[in-house]
Chains A and B, each alone.
Chain A
Amino acid sequence: MKKITLGAFEELVLLTTGVLEGNAYGVTIKLELESKLKKSISLGALYSALQRLEEKGWVNSRIGGITEKQGGRRKQYFDITKEGILALNEVRSIRNELFDRLPQSKISWLKS
């Protein structure tokens, strides 16, 4: 079986979902990401990422805030799963390891 990978944008979405804890749905994730990345993010791209994450089992979705009067609109909240955290951790550890192996001369650029 092919190893399931986590894309760069997916990673950001997954992280934000975790950070927002309990209040992560389309609008909040979008606004949070936009304020952090300082660029606009299309809802389409966001949904597509969330749908992929849900398929991989790294987020769960639950329904909240159904308004009967609004005629079929509902809030879909996303929560990060344990597998999601593991995946994030894995990506992070790979990254950290690689970063640590950067030559000291390059890292010293950070301080200047």
Chain B
Amino acid sequence: MSFKHNKAKPPKLGKWLLESFCSYDFLSTALWDMEELFHRNVKIKGIRKAKLLYLKEAFGIVIYLFFKGKSQYSINKTAMLKHNFLISYRSFFKHKSTFFINLIGLTSGLACTLLIYLWVADELSMNKFHENSGELYQVMQNAESSRGIRTVPYTPGPLSATLMEKFPEVEYGTSVLTHDYFEGESYLSHDRKFLSIKEQFIDEQFFKVFTFPMSRGNSESIFRQPNNVLISQDLATRLFLNENDAIGKTVLLQNEEFDEEFIVSGVFENVPNNSTLEFDILFNLQKIIDINNQNFTVWYSNNTYTYMLLKAGTNLDDFNQKIYGLVEEFEPKARSKVFAQKFDETYLNGSYENGEIIGGRIAYVGLFSLIAMVILIIACINFINLSTAKAMGRLKEIGVKKTLGAKRKTLVLQYFTEAFLMTTLGIILAFFTAYAFLPFFNQVTGKNLYFEIDATLVLIITGTIIITTLLTGGYPALYLSRLNTIASLKGKLIGGFGDSWARKGLVVFQFSISVILIVSVLIVSKQIAFIQSKNLGYNRDNVLGFTTTGIDESTLPTMHSLIQRLPGVVHSSYTAHTLTGDTGRTGGISWPGQEADESISMVNLEVGIGFTETMGIELVEGRTFETERSNEIAKILFNQTAIKAMGLEDPIGKIIKLWGREKQIIGIVKDFHTESLYEPVSPTFIQMIDSDFTNVFVKIQAGTELQTIDKLESIYSELSGGMPFDSRFVDRAYQAMYEGEKQVASLSKSFALIAIIISCLGLLGLTTFTAERRSKEIGIRKVLGASLWKVVHLLSTDVTKMIAVSLAIGLPISYFIAQRWIQDFAFGIDLSIEYFLFSGIITLIIAWLTVSIQTFKSARANPVESLRSE
């Protein structure tokens, strides 16, 4: 054989497998044959296939050796491993309750870890799919005002072109106008089939910067003809059934700016879930520039998002210093600075304070990773506690083994084998459990996660198995193998004092975590309930809102009078803003007695007649807008905060200037919330407008909702030419503002529940063990006349003490955490002592109940049973 000259080498793993299982003689035989086969396979099947076959054969040999082979062909390790498996199996079988407690704990812990891993991996993958994601940046703008610096993604239209021109570091810059720009819904139709869409307007550089592959047609085609559009595969199949038919077809776009036909010139692959740019149709940006030139070509108008590709190796800090004052260079009055942030970081680090990045969702990623780890640790603690507690029963086994010459290493290996088997079994079950709960998890997190077996997942699972095995097996292995041979043969535990302390400490740790979780869940849900019931200064019950998309401005009065004539309608009004986060803001207001450089940024609500009545905003002084009067456009309403901020006394009738035009104050309204409760109430004014309405709000009489909505829908579709009626109650829209908190709340509820269940299982296991060990003592006490309650008390005292210590540790920590979280809200609940008292009592009761399952059983047992054996 001349395989010496052949360079191909068999895989190391296969060789290692053979070496670690085969006896010396057999190994040399097997190696010869394996190598000869390998080199033959390299010649006829190629190196990759040959290596795979080699591994397969090696596994085959090892498995034959392990299950069927005679011991003379394998080394002692194989036999020991076989023995360890057998002993583990027998010990699982012997202590069934312990086995199930461990298994349930590990399974649920590992299932949580798997689910959280999926979520975290998804969060981390956001916006990373672009080919150039390493050099892809978004330009953010810091707008300075008297209220501080506000960081927004909206940037001036000419910014991207200027960046490309002036800075050699910028390879491409692109301006994107997303669907956020349009306040109403947008619809696309073909052949009277209407679909609600998310549109986006792009310029020529878009496809150079981002990676959104085409499936049909050419992406450049929309820049050739202003009326060409690209649509997503999903939209194409929904409109035309088959995406092949889409190209060349005419579609009609209707929203507040457009009522125009376009031609489909290409189809792009659906935007992946992990993209923050969400769109299903792309238009040429020039199209909207032609309509509304000044929104996109001047430096003081911020509507587009700006993205760019920097040349590789550009230092971000240096570059940011260069572009810092760019906007003010062109528009000296702008008072805003720009900076670039890596695009894939804008999702996770999207919170800013004073123009600095202060984190964002990354905090949740960290929080949930921590929770996964904590739950896994709690499950591991069960295994540790129960194994060391059960050591009593295995003392003889250890003693005999040691007498026969077992080294400490052998015993350590045995316990690690046990832990490994447990963990592997746990992870297999966890996989199924996680798979079963995935739909529920997706619903709660609002994501679309799925299991995909890839290298990372395999790596994570292997890593988890190793870490969990080390965590669970480590302490028992070292502890049990350390025991003194003679003492253990006699059945005595030496140093039991310290060990029971370690065990108690671990239980205390478990319950401290449980207490913290209970308090957190309680406070998060209280805070959310508080937000939802908080008096917002307006009455959002039964107020229905819908957009005026597809309705001509001139038919609005007709629609309004039709709506007001409906029997179930109490009030109705149309506006250009909503009260759920979508408001304007301006500092362009001046008032009598204003200091020279004083400016207040106020919320601007542009509304029609009947707004305060529809929303139930209370009037404090003066009057509101009335139909009968003329020239209401020159009048204005303020809220109390605004009046206070301006320092006006006796404000009714005074004249202020808004954007240079004079307006007379006719009334003051009570404070009401227009933004999230993370913010305090802002100074707000309400002004009348007579055009550019986007929303209609209708206050419906309670009990007539269904009929009234039906009638509203028929009015709407008649006037809009058959557009779908998309309405939503204001209180629902309000709740949607706190979606993030609600997700965190329901997730933390589930995880807290799991953590507590696992902890309780561990406690139950320990109590069972203690009760078994003390069964003789209990028997004697009962014979001497101890009552049932006396015995229950005896067995629960230890637990009560442990829980008390857990509370002493857990409650202060939870107070600290809760306080930090509540601080983020401008309107938070008071952290009263009741919450903590309640959580403490709950924990104690749960623990007692768990323990009572066992204590009552042993206290009621007939003493004869436990005493007769001696």
Contacts and interface: CB of A to CB of B under 8 A. Distances in A.
Interface of A: 25-27, 30, 42-45, 47-48, 51, 55, 65, 69-70, 72-76
Contacts of B32: 25-26, 65, 70, 73-76
Contact of B65 (A44, A55, A76): A44
A62 to B, nearest CB: 12
Contacts of A70: 4, 32, 35
Contact of B31 (A42, A69, A73): A73
24 contacts: A25-B33, A26-B29, A27-B33, A27-B36, A42-B56, A42-B64, A43-B34, A43-B37, A43-B61, A44-B62, A44-B65, A47-B64, A47-B69, A48-B64, A48-B68, A51-B69, A51-B70, A65-B1, A65-B32, A69-B4, A70-B35, A74-B28, A74-B32, A75-B29
A25 B31 CA distance: 12
B37 A51 contact: no
A26 B33 contact: yes
Give 5 closest A-B pairs by Cβ, nearest first: A26-B33, A44-B64, A44-B60, A42-B60, A44-B61
A51 B25 CA distance: 13
Contacts of B31: 72-73
B115 to A, nearest CB: 39
Contacts of B64: 42, 44-45, 47-48
Contacts of A74: 28-29, 32
Contact of A45 (B26, B36, B37, B60): B60
Contacts of B40: 27
A24 B807 CA distance: 75
A43 B60 contact: yes
Contact of A43 (B1, B30, B73): B30
Contacts of A43: 30, 33-34, 37, 57, 60-61
B370 interface: no
Nearest to B56: A42
A44 B57 contact: yes
B60 A72 contact: no
B80 interface: no
Interface of B: 1, 4, 24, 26-37, 40, 56-57, 60-65, 68-70, 73
A75 to B, nearest CB: 5
A55 B72 CA distance: 11
Nearest to A76: B29
A74 B26 CA distance: 10
A42 B31 CA distance: 14
A92 B69 CA distance: 28
A45 B24 CA distance: 19
Contacts of B56: 42
Q: Which of A47, A69, A74 has the most CB of B within 10 A?
A: A47
A30 B24 CA distance: 22
Contacts of A26: 29-30, 32-33
Main secondary structure of the interface of B (DSSP, over half): helix
A75 B28 CA distance: 8
Given A43-B60, A44-B65, A69-B4, A51 B73 contact: yes
Given A45-B64, A74-B28, 13 more contacts: A30-B33, A42-B60, A42-B61, A43-B30, A44-B61, A47-B64, A48-B64, A65-B32, A69-B4, A70-B35, A72-B28, A73-B35, A76-B29
Contacts of B65: 44
B586 to A, nearest CB: 79
A42 B70 contact: no
Nearest to A52: B70
A47 B62 CA distance: 11
B36 A44 contact: no
A100 B40 CA distance: 43
A75 B56 CA distance: 21
A71 to B, nearest CB: 9
A47 B70 contact: no
Contacts of B61: 42-44, 47
A93 B521 CA distance: 81
B57 A42 contact: yes
B1 to A, nearest CB: 8
B57 A73 contact: no
Contacts of B29: 26, 74-76
Contacts of A45: 60, 64
Nearest to B66: A44
Given A47-B30, A72-B27, A74-B29, A27 B60 contact: no
A27 B27 contact: no
A40 to B, nearest CB: 9
Contacts of A73: 28, 31-32, 35
A65 B496 CA distance: 61
Nearest to B24: A72
Query: Of B4, B56, B60, B69, which is in contact with the most chain A CB atoms at under 10 Å from its CB?
Result: B60
B19 to A, nearest CB: 10
B4 to A, nearest CB: 7
B494 to A, nearest CB: 46
Contacts of B26: 47
A43 to B, nearest CB: 5
Nearest to B59: A44
Give the most central of B26, B27, B33, B56: most A CB within 10 Å.
B33
Contacts of B62: 44
Nearest to B26: A47
B522 to A, nearest CB: 59
Nearest to A26: B33
Contacts of A72: 24, 27-28, 31
A70 B73 CA distance: 21
A16 B38 CA distance: 22
B848 to A, nearest CB: 56
A51 to B, nearest CB: 6
Nearest to A69: B4
Contacts of A55: 70
Nearest to B29: A76
Contacts of A69: 4
B63 A44 contact: yes
Contacts of A27: 33, 36-37, 40
Q: Which of A25, A43, A72, A75 has the most CB of B within 10 A?
A: A43
Contacts of A51: 69-70, 73
A44 B28 CA distance: 14
A48 B65 CA distance: 8
A94 to B, nearest CB: 26
B443 to A, nearest CB: 47
A56 to B, nearest CB: 12
Contacts of A30: 33, 37
A42 B73 CA distance: 17
A30 B27 CA distance: 18
B73 to A, nearest CB: 6
Contacts of B27: 72
Contacts of B35: 70, 73
Contacts of A44: 57, 60-65
Nearest to B31: A73
Contacts of A65: 1, 32
A64 B31 CA distance: 14
Nearest to B22: A47
Nearest to B37: A27
B157 to A, nearest CB: 68
Nearest to B69: A48
Nearest to A66: B28
A65 B35 CA distance: 14
B272 to A, nearest CB: 42
Contacts of B33: 25-27, 30, 43
A110 B596 CA distance: 115
Contacts of A75: 29, 32
Contacts of B28: 72-74
A65 B4 CA distance: 14
A8 to B, nearest CB: 16
Contacts of B4: 69-70
Contacts of B34: 43
A90 B26 CA distance: 31
Nearest to B3: A70
